[in-house]
A = this chain, B = another copy of it.
Amino acid sequence: MADFDYVSREDATEPMKGPKPPLDLSHHFSRVTVARKESKIKEFYKYFQIPGIGNLAGGLPNASFFPYDTLEAQIAQPERFHPTPNDPNDPSELLASTTLKKNHDATAASHITVPHASASSNPLQKIDLTTALQYGTAQGYPPLYSFIRQFARENLHPNVPYLDGPEIILTNGNTDGFSKCLEALSNVWSEERDWIRERPGLLCEEFAYMNAVQAGVPRGLQVVPVKMDLEGMLPSGPGGLEDVLKNWDESKGMRPHLMYTVTIGQNPTSGTLSIQRRKDIYAVCSKYDVIIIEDEPYWYLQYPSATGKQAEARGQPLPAAQEPHKFDKSTGYEYLDSLVPSYLNFDPDGRVLRLDTFSKTVAPGCRLGWITGQPGIIERILRITETSTQQPSGFVQSMIAELLIGPQPAAAEFAKKSKADQLAFSGWQTDGWVRWLSGLRGTYERRMTRMADILEEGRFQLKQGTPIKSSESDWAVISKTKMYSFDWPRAGMFLWMHVHFETHPLWGKVEGPKLARALWIYLTTKPYLVLLAPGQMFSPTPEISEQEGWKYFRLCFAAVTEDEVDKSSKRTAGGFRDFWLIRDEKELDDIEGTVNAEEMREGLMDLGMNWAC
């Protein structure tokens, strides 16, 4: 942007004393967002609160006509799954069973009930259908909004540096959240009518979650990939962030002012961005006035054991531990303290919007999440929400609220319950929620270990050469062909496999992308029967797809049954082994059949659109 009157923190003349308010970043608002009015609603609440007022103004249906008298559920106890250690040097319980057995019935469930009307007079604790299934406020159902807001500010991100800290707004999941961020922060641009110099850009990782990227493309955003390594985006060096922004060619569009990034368990690479890397990238974003949209569905799934286990498996020395960042405030939980913190904690400018979701911690079908960021931007997203989704469904909001907050002892319905029921359940509360998250991390960390262990073994094609006769003994000559390599996932749900097609016997005779396509199909046939996600699905530009994408597969260890993790991993390794024995080009043609390469890529990308692959 050529003409914004943005003053960077460094240019300000007044001395720094204590936390400052976030920067005014309203020059980034889209024209549609600027045109939205502020709400004047608060000035009128007083009329609604007149005691005894007969409210004939609101256009609401009557709650006594809702056909649901209660909502109920059987829910897990927070201890259902066994956590793994926070300390990377403590392998003690890593391979324990996923579900707890001793002293605890892992299948035990509590019954929760959202009553039709709660007697609680505190709106932050009142969870009932009369309020939850009625029209509500766009920021979220008051009890749930209040719980999440406190959790976000005090437990997830207690060290946000700007004055008064961040605000939140509930969303219908992160796809909805990102869509609203785009609507708030980017203008629609089209080639046929707009100046190229006005074309907005969207920075993303070299391999990225395409549903998000695809949300920007129809709006005319130019997708601008930034080089990455196995950790994540590169702040500097060729193709790194500074390189891209500093050497930006304005004749190709506006220098990008928006970044979409997944920094923990990156999709698809499972990269996990260190604190130092965060600081370096943030500094570049601050310099070039870039807003960071941090999408973190996998944040809770950080695997401290991965580095050590990988080193152990490969007979390599354990890398030295990074010096942990010292923050003023603890999250209050050892487990949360052990996680790499959000960009929000390094964000004096208020240029980070963090997307959180219940999709991976409860279920994708919740369609429930929240955005955390500076109040000035959250307020604009609130306005967008009012004329689009209005609010997440009261069914999910009340059920999650009941699970987390529980029935309030003051409520009349609660008093009517049997003593046993009253004792049985009072909501997970923050302690229970964090315990649940650490248990979930445990289940996925064990799955990751199982898949990585099996694929570790299968990386090489071993071939016996002619034995060497010597006087003392026969020596077996084994040639080791590396078929693929990978880093053990440090987080998330995916293993990112780099396939070394250059070691295949047909390399040189057959083009790489064709080999890759044949391998993908080959793996879906008997007896291998595994479906992997090709790297083309995560290639934000056709160039990356053609040059790099085909060399990669993403393997998800989250979706299949635990048993199938082992079996599918073994069948995958077996498929590679056999595929590397193919020497006849004609055999490849038979495998490929009628599949068209471009169709395959597009079909799989569309799958990703629907399935958040």
Residues of A whose CB lies within 8 Å of any CB of B are 31-33, 35-37, 39-44, 47-48, 50, 52-76, 80-81, 109, 129, 132-138, 172-173, 175-176, 179, 187-188, 190, 192-193, 211, 214-215, 217-220, 267, 359-360, 362-368, 386-399, 403, 436, 440, 443, 493-494, 524, 529-533, 554-561, 564, 567-568, 571-572, 599-600, 602-613
CB distance from A186 to the nearest CB of B (A): 11
- Nearest to A595 among chain B residues (CB) is B43
Chain B residues with CB under 8 A of A387 = 175, 179, 211, 214-215, 218, 609
Is there an interface contact between A568 and B56, defined as CB atoms closer than 8 Å?
Answer: yes
Partner of A607, one of B41, B109, B218, B524: B41
Chain B residues with CB under 8 A of A367 = 389-394
Chain B residues with CB under 8 A of A71 = 71-73, 399
CB distance from A133 to the nearest CB of B (A): 3
- Nearest to A44 among chain B residues (CB) is B603
Is there an interface contact between A75 and B67, defined as CB atoms closer than 8 Å?
Answer: yes
CB distance from A366 to the nearest CB of B (A): 6
Which interface residue of A80, A179, A214, A556 has the most chain B CB atoms within 10 A?
A556
Chain B residues with CB under 8 A of A391 = 365, 367
Is there an interface contact between A386 and B609, defined as CB atoms closer than 8 Å?
Answer: yes
CB distance from A72 to the nearest CB of B (A): 4
A-B CB contact pairs (8 Å), 19 listed? A32-B220, A41-B603, A52-B529, A54-B567, A54-B568, A55-B560, A56-B530, A59-B611, A61-B493, A64-B561, A69-B74, A71-B73, A133-B363, A136-B365, A176-B388, A176-B390, A215-B388, A388-B388, A394-B396
- Nearest to A54 among chain B residues (CB) is B568
Is there an interface contact between A36 and B218, defined as CB atoms closer than 8 Å?
Answer: yes
Chain B residues with CB under 8 A of A53 = 524, 529-531
- Nearest to A195 among chain B residues (CB) is B193
CB distance from A390 to the nearest CB of B (A): 5
Chain B residues with CB under 8 A of A368 = 393
- Nearest to A193 among chain B residues (CB) is B31
Chain B residues with CB under 8 A of A76 = 67-69
Chain B residues with CB under 8 A of A48 = 531
Is there an interface contact between B175 and A531, defined as CB atoms closer than 8 Å?
Answer: no
Chain B residues with CB under 8 A of A397 = 365
- In addition to A67-B80, A365-B391, A367-B391, 5 A-B residue pairs with Cβ atoms within 8 Å of each other are A31-B192, A44-B604, A56-B560, A57-B533, A70-B74
